Amino acid sequence: MARMTSPERMGAVMMGEKPDRIPVVPFILGYAAQITGVSIGDLYADGDKCFEAMFNSMRLHGYEQTPMYGYASLGPWEFGGEVMFPYGKGHSAPSVTKHPVMSIEDIENLEVPTFEKELPGGFKEADKVAKRCVAMGMPATIQTGSTFTASSVVAETSLFLKWIFKEPKAVHMLLDKVSDMFVNALEYFAETYGPEHCMPFDGGPVEANTILSPKQFKEFAYPYMEKLHKKIKELGMPAVLMHPCADQNMNIPYYVELRKKLNWEGRYFWLFGPETPIQDQIDNFGDHDIICGNVDPPSIQYKSYEDVVRLCKENIEAGKDSPNGFVLAPGCEFPPLAPPIKVMAMMDAAEKYGRYD
């Protein structure tokens, strides 16, 4: 079979066809800065630098992940708080320095950011990345959640988690406002770039079962996820990159319910953490969706090239024949400080063990 280009490979998977080999989406964010000579602070503070670093890293390694902008602590800046960009020693992503919500009153007074004039906070940088992606025929990736994680950092995190019991009404009000911001974002990007070019990116770590019970997930995370995904469907976007971060095994029934309830013809790329066996993902979503790998990120950083190839091989063997396709990926962000041969290990494993011919 003739070799496919990266866009052809992703295109084939999207269409439910077999590519020449499984695509590789290494979930690279901070790493792109490290190897292209951009500071990791600039990668998050400046959308143009983000695009260039990610585009160059993509060209250098030849993987299938196109440039994207986003981070786990998105939300506070957009709602009038402050974040610190990762210029400091050891920093690897933006973090919150001032939560806009410190009391119930703050929730009542909170105003939902609009996208009419200037775009709020990080969306301004995300927009620069999206613009350049779409101009080159690549999707505009938009972070649209998760609402629960964003809310848990808009408010001071421990307060927020306690309010789940003490002030459930106020928590719902906050979740509703935060999800409205994401609705506004979806509408802006759909209108600006055309829904067919948009790829929402949803997911977050704070709904992990190391923090939250499935019951709390059902009551506080699920309804807003459903609200946003309904919007995505209505707008006619073709696919969603869905990353239930860390251990969310007990939440899986709700993700399945979401899928059923929306009865959506679009496709999900499911990117679960290393805690969720690939076979479980196939059993729950494989009939309709694309399953992504979940190679353990710390192992990518610390283990040898040979060990990483072996871990990828196990991942590929478990997922390659999922009925609607498989993409090799780590279970969360590629370790920003890992040496480049670890990306090579993923690429080599895909070539060696991920071919369909």
- Judged by the rule CB under 6 A, the positions of this chain that interact with ligand B12 are 29, 71-73, 91-93, 95, 149, 153, 157, 205-206, 208, 210-211, 245-247, 273, 297-298, 331-333
Strand, helix or coil at 205? coil
The binder of 87, among other proteins, ligand B12, none, by C-beta within 5 to 8 A per type, is none
Nearest to other proteins of 319, 335 (CB atom) = 335
Nearest to other proteins of 235, 250 (CB atom) = 250
Tokens 């780590």 label which residue? 330
273 is an interface residue for other proteins by CB under 8 A: no
213 is an interface residue for other proteins by CB under 8 A: yes
Nearest to ligand B12 of 95, 324 (CB atom) = 95
256 is an interface residue for other proteins by CB under 8 A: no
Nearest to other proteins of 71, 285 (CB atom) = 71
Tokens 């690279």 label which residue? 28
CA–CA distances in Å: residue 272 to residues 2, 18, 295, 298: 32, 22, 10, 15
CA distance 41 to 285: 36
312 and 341 in contact (C-beta within 8 Å)? no
Residue count of the chain, please give it. 357
Q: Which of 337, 340, 341, 352 binds other proteins (CB under 8 A)?
A: 337
27 and 333 in contact (C-beta within 8 Å)? yes
CA distance 228 to 150: 14
- Minimum CB distance to ligand B12, residue 79 (Å): 15
Tell how far CA 151 is from the center of its chain. Answer: 16
The binder of 109, among ligand B12, other proteins, none, by C-beta within 5 to 8 A per type, is none
102 is an interface residue for other proteins by CB under 8 A: no
Q: Which of 92, 146, 276, 284 binds other proteins (CB under 8 A)?
A: 92
CA distance 257 to 221: 13
Nearest to ligand B12 of 249, 324 (CB atom) = 249
The binder of 250, among ligand B12, other proteins, none, by C-beta within 5 to 8 A per type, is other proteins
193-223 burial, b for 16+ CB within 10 Å, e for fewer? bebebbbbbbbbbbbbbebbebebbeebbbe
